[in-house]
Structure formats: structure tokens, C-alpha cells
Amino acid sequence: MTTAPAIHLDVTNTDPVPLSRLLRVEFRKSYDTRAGFWLLFSIGVITLIAEVITLIVAITQDLDNVSLGTFTAVAAVVTSFLLPVLAIMLVTTEWTQRSAMVTFSLESRRSRVVWSKLLVAFVLSLASVVFAIVVGVVCNAIFAAAGGTTEWWNQDVRDGVIGFVISQSLGMLVGFAFAALFLNTAAAIVVYFAFSFIVPTLFEVGTAVFGEHSWFADLRKWIDFNTAQNKLFELSTMSGADWAHLVVSSLIWVGIPLVFGLRRILRAEVK
Amino acid sequence: MIKVEGLTRKYGSFTAVDDVSFTCQPGRVTGFLGPNGAGKTTTMRVMVGLTPATKGQVTIGGLRYHDIPNPGRHVGVLLDASAQHGGRTGREVLTIGAMTMGLPDSRVDEMLDLVSLTASEAKRRLRHYSLGMKQRLGIAHALLGDPQVLILDEPANGLDPAGIRWMRGLLKSYADRGGTVLLSSHLLHEVEQIADEMILIGRGKIVAQGDRASLLAGAGPAQTLVTSLDNEVLSTALKEAGHVVESAGQGLCVHAPAVEVGRAALSAQVVLTDLRDGGAGLEDLFLQLTADTQRETPPDLAAPTPGGTIA
Ligand SMILES: Nc1ncnc2c1ncn2[C@@H]1O[C@H](COP(=O)(O)OP(=O)(O)OP(=O)(O)O)[C@@H](O)[C@H]1O
Ligand SMILES: [Mg+2]
């Protein structure tokens, strides 16, 4: 065999792919497919429909305990349902559509791709909070203009904004973690919704069976992520114990699946 | 440029790639041939770090793939043209690739032009692409970063005859400019015409490698196909010269190099209408070498190539 020149790749002038570029790419991937686009679009539309219904009820029933929080809460509920689905799809479509093969050949440091996706999901969570507040402000203004009595702000900023941001992000993280664990859209979504509906019911049943002051109720505080998370909406009143419950239950429901999921993504054979 | 050393990949007790070693030189097209399930794709996936090796290693230009910064700028990869999100348009797929590699958008248009995908096709979603269109897009994607090395798994798969010929030209000129090309195929004809070097793999093991001539040299005694205006006379003359002669279709199959057949025809004064190498050609060699690794019927190998006008 002949020894031809240029046996070595000259990589001295090539910079590694910077994280900022991966972030832009992953952000773009969140809306450039039909599924991604419609998901984002439906989050917007469903939120608006829910807000319109709330407005109609509030105006026709002439409700008197309305505030900005009433409307942002509606947007919060809708987005908190769909945001995890968005986070799930960010991860799983790479596997179900097999584009991971290309993604990981262009950036073989797989963890950086995963972190970019996580950051994008986080940015989208923040955006959902901003969206909810903006929609809330507009609806509240409409309600006031329609002659309703409303308050603009009747809660602690920590509850209405910071608690909201943390809660949205945690919800998104659960979806993300399940997605990384299952690498399959349907499985991750099913498990996510089972987690948000069936698990809380089981906790209620357990508490009913064993009693309010049983070992089960004590244990539940540490593993019931939903209850711990709901306290975030009264963040200003959260005690040290509440925070501890939140941290421990998040570690269980987010931390563990995420660690196993990451391990799986980093090691898996990509087909 | 590409150096595979003692590469082994096991799946449980099954060894998909078994102690494979070879190199691909810059300025040359290396063909990677083998029947279904021989381990071509697995080897290529290990090369680009998508599948971990059980043993051995692969370096590209002295570096492990993982250590190549912005690998798309150095190594163009096409492993599976269908492995893209079906909901993205062709242009979007390239745009995302260009963005990741840090290339300007103009590069996307250049590549679309290069692989002859029209503007309206580029706007279509991948789900609606034909196999050949996906393949063209995949080739465009591999070439986006203007890499020095190309690793292509069955790039001709699904291309029309004109497309196959175009691709041959493309890869040839790419290698002539100093690029390194590794392409796999199970169609010998497809590779034979452009590969400077061939690596034959069967059931995970390399069964032969070398350039066309050196492979043929090991292919056993030469055979020649000949047709003449008077086959009977020619046949007698050849037998008298001590060659084994069989009838083959319209002509004869002679167990001797073409030069001997020509000589016999000259002395017997028979006009030849066709004289060509018909013996243990590469294809026979290929089949023979991979015989024990072959499935019962090798339909792909027996079938004519889509571009098989030049056989
Ligand atoms: N994840 C896996 N688990 C078990 N076996 C596998 C796995 N991946 C590949 N194989 C086996 O490894 C062998 C080599 O497969 P590979 O895809 O590399 O073949 P190939 O040469 O590319 O074949 P083809 O020409 O059909 O594309 C096959 O027998 C295949 O079934
Ligand atoms: Mg293959």
C-alpha cells in the first residue's frame, strides 16, 4: 500500500460545536416538524379557548372574587398539561424517527445534545409562564372593561411568578426524564399521564386505608410529588419541611428516571 | 486515512464483526462488499461512534471519531437515508445540518443543486420522499461540511441509473481531489467500476481485499467467453491447443486467458465477433469467497445492476 499524503486529519482550525449552536438547533427542532408545530400551536389555541370560556363564565355569572391570578391559573393548567408532552417529544422523536443517528454523528458528545434539549425545554417552560401571565393580563383587562370587579394583584410575587416557574419546570422535567428513560413517545406520554392521575389517586387511597396519621401518610409526604409540587403556588408560606418534601420527591420522580435515561442515551447503540 | 484495527462487535454470543482490520487511503475509493448481514453497516456504525466496539478500534486521520471537533466538517456520513424525521422538509433537514456545523444557508442550496433536488421537492416533507430522493438528500447531507472523508452505506440504494452514474462520477472526482471514500454495497457491479480498492466481508470476517487486479489474480484460472463466425472450428482448434472448451449460450467458454483464445483463432483463421473475460470474474470470486456465508439464494448478486449497460 502506498503512503499517500494527508493521512492525518488537520483539525487545528476546527472548533468544536459550541453549546450556543446546539441550543439554536434544538430550539429549531422543537417547532420545525409538523407535530412540533401543531403541538405548540394547540397549546396556544387550547389556552385561548379555556380563557374565553372562563371570561364568559366570569362575566355572565358576575363573579366577584376574580383577579389576574384567576386567568393566569387557567393558562397555567393548560400549559402544565402540554408542556411535558413537548419536552417528551423533544427527546423521543430523535429515537422514534431515528434522527438520533444524524444528530449524534454531528455531535458525538451526546450529553451536550441532551443538555441542549433540556435547556430548550426549560426556556419553553419560562415562555409558558410569560405567555400565561400575558394572557392573564389581557383577559383581566377585558373582564374589567366588561364591567367586572377584579383585582389586579392579590398574591405574593413569589407565589404567582417564582412558584409558577419552578412548578412548570418541574412538570416539564418529569416528562423529560420519562422520555429519556423510555425513548418512546407513546410510552413516555402514557406513563407521564398515569403518573399525574393514577399515582395521586393511589396516594389518596393509601391514606384512606391506613389513616391520616399512619406510617403511610408520613411516607407519602416524601414521595408524593404532586402534593409537594402544589405547595409551590403558596411558595411564600412553604416551610423547611415542605421544601425538603419537594426536593426528595423530585429526586425520586425526576432524578432517578433522568439518571437512568441519560445513562441509556449516552451508551445506547443508535440505530 | 481510515484505519480499522482488530475490530470486533458482539451481540450476546453472536459476533457480527469479527476481528476486522483494513485501511482506506486518501485519493482512493474503497468498496466494502459483502452479502446481507455480513457486518458492513455495523462496522460503519462503529466508525462514527454510534455503536460501541467490543474490541479493537477505528481511527480517522489518526483520531477517534469522538475526538474530531465538529465531525461533520471532516467526515461525511450516510448510514441510513431514512433515518430522518419524516415531518421535516428536505431543505429543513439540510438547514439543521448546516446550522449544527456552523455553515451558511447558501451551502444548503448548493447541496440541493448538486444532488438535483428541485426547489419544490426540497419543500416536501421527508415522509413523502421516494427512496431515491431520500438517498440524494442523504448524499447532500454527507457532503454539506465539505469533508475530507466520506463514509457511505449503500449510497446507490434506490438511485435511478442516471443517479447511479452521477454518483460514481461524483465519488470518483471527490477521490481524485484527495478525498477518502468508503462505500458499501452488495452489488459488485456497482462498486467494481469506481473502487480502487475492495474489501470483501462475509459473516463478520474479511475474506479478501485488494485492488481489482490483485483480487482477480487470486480468482483461479482465467476463463474467456468467445463467439466467432465458426464456433465449431474454433472449438476444435482450442481443444487441440490443450484448452478445456464448453459451449456457453451463443458462443464458447474457454478455460484459458483471452490471449490464448485469440491466438488459436488467428491460426485457425476464424473471425471472432466477441471476445471477453468471462471466467472467474470478480463476481464469481465474490460469490465463491462468501459462499459459506451466503444465504441459499443470492438474488441480489445474480440480478443485473440497474445501470448494468456497462458490465
Ligand atoms: N443490535 C443487534 N442485535 C443483534 N444482532 C445485530 C444487531 N445489530 C446487527 N446485528 C446483526 O449483525 C449482523 C450484521 O449486520 P449488518 O447490518 O452490519 O449487516 P450488513 O452487512 O450491513 O448487511 P446488509 O447488506 O443487509 O445491509 C446481522 O446478522 C445482524 O442481524
Ligand atoms: Mg447494511
Out of B14, B200, B207, mutate this one to test ligand 1's pocket (max ligand atoms within 8 Å of CB): namely: B14
- Could you tell me if the CB of B186 is within 6 A of ligand 1? yes
| Residues A153-212: tens digit of each pLDDT | 777 777 778 889 999 999 999 999 999 999 999 999 999 999 888 988 999 898 888 888
Looking at the predicted structure, is the pLDDT value of residue B297 above 70? Answer: no
| Residue B4 beta carbon below 6 angstroms from any ligand 1 atom | no
Tell me the DSSP string of B79-109: S-TT-S-TTSBHHHHHHHHHHHHT--THHHH
What does the alpha-carbon distance between residue B247 and residue A246 come to, in Å, rounded to a whole number? 87
> A27-49 as b/e, with b when 16 or more CB fall inside 10 Å?
bebbebbeebeebbeebeeebee
| C-alpha A142 chain-centroid distance | 29
pLDDT surpasses 90 at A271: no
Shortest distance between the Cα of B202 and any Cα of chain A, in A, equals 21
Judge residue B61's burial from the number of C-beta atoms within 10 Å of its C-beta, 0-12 exposed, 13-18 middle, 19 or more buried.
Answer: buried
Q: Which of A229, A30, A58 is nearest to A136 (CA)?
A: A58
Instruction: Let me know if residue A120 belongs to a domain.
Output: yes
Cβ contact B83–A1 (<8 Å): no
- For the segment B73-86, what is each residue's pLDDT rounded down to a tens digit? 999 999 999 999 99
Q: What is the pLDDT of residues A42-78, one digit of tens each?
A: 999 999 999 999 999 988 887 877 888 889 999 999 9
**Optimal mutation site among B96, B137, B141, interface A, most CBs of chain A within 10 A:** B96
**Ligand closest to the CA atom of residue B43:** 1
Within 8 A by CB and 6+ apart from A192, the residues are A84, A85, A88, A174, A175, A178
Ligand 1 atom nearest B45 alpha carbon: 18
Q: Quick one: average pLDDT of A123-144?
A: 92
Average pLDDT of span A120-148: 91
Q: Is B309 exposed, middle or buried (0-12, 13-18, 19+ CB in 10 A)?
A: exposed
| A21 → closest Cβ in B82, B88, B100 | B100
CB contact under 8 A, A32 and B92: yes
**Arithmetic mean of pLDDT, A230-240:** 86
How much of chain B, in percent, has pLDDT values that exceed 90? Answer: 63
B52: which 3 cell numbers?
A: 460501541
| Nearest ligand atom owner, CA of A271 | 1
Rounded average pLDDT over B190-210 = 89
Q: Given CB atoms, is B101 within the 8 Å cutoff of chain A? A: yes
E strand or H helix at B17: strand B14-24
CATH of B2-211, one of 3.40.50.300, 3.60.15.10, 3.40.50.10860, 3.40.50.970: 3.40.50.300
- Please indicate if any CB of chain A lies within 8 Å of the CB of B69: yes
Residue A261, pLDDT score: 95
Residue of B nearest to A17 (CA): B70
- pLDDT exceeds 90 at position A11: no
Which residues of chain A does B96 touch, with a Cβ-Cβ cutoff of 8 Å? Answer: 25, 28-29, 32
Give the global pTM: 0.85
| CA closest to B82 among chain A residues | A98
pLDDT at B150: 97
Assess whether pLDDT exceeds 60 at residue B280.
no
Average pLDDT, chain B: 89
Å between B246 CA and nearest CA of chain A: 39
Best residue in A21, A106, A110 for a mutation probing chain B (most B CBs within 10 Å): A106
Q: Does residue B38 line the site of ligand 1, with CB under 6 A? A: yes
The answer, yes or no, to whether residue A16 has pLDDT greater than 50, is yes
Calpha distance A219→A204 (Å, rounded)? 13
**Longest Cα–Cα distance in chain B:** 71
Judge whether residue A5 has pLDDT over 60: no
**For B84, which of A9, A15, A99 is closest by C-beta distance?**
A99
What is the per-residue pLDDT across A31-42, written as a single tens digit (0 to 9) for each? 999 889 999 999
Residue A7 in domain: no
Give domain status of residue A169, yes or no: yes
Q: Does residue A75 fall inside a structural domain?
A: yes
Ligand 1 nearest-atom number relative to CA B201: 21
Q: Which pLDDT score is estimated for A3?
A: 45
What pLDDT does B311 receive? 44
Q: Which domain holds residue A123?
A: 19-267
B297 by Cβ neighbours in 10 Å (0-12 / 13-18 / 19+) ranks as exposed
Quote the cell numbers at residue B23.
Answer: 485501511
Q: Are A29 and B89 in contact (CB under 8 A)?
A: no
User: Which ligand lies nearest the alpha carbon of B78?
Assistant: 2
For chain A, state the CA radius of gyration: 22
User: Could you tell me the pLDDT band of residue A114, with boundaries at 50, 70 and 90?
Assistant: very high
Whether residue A56 is contained in a domain is answered as yes
What is the mean pLDDT of the segment spanning B210-218? 78
**Mean of pLDDT over chain A:** 90
A1, part of any domain: no
Please report, for residues A103, A205, A207, the alpha-carbon distance to residue A248 in angstroms, rounded to integers and kept in the order given: 34, 22, 19
Each domain of chain B, given as residue ranges in start order, spans 2-211, 224-277
Q: How many structural domains comprise chain A? A: 1
Predicted confidence band at B307 (pLDDT cuts at 50, 70, 90)? low
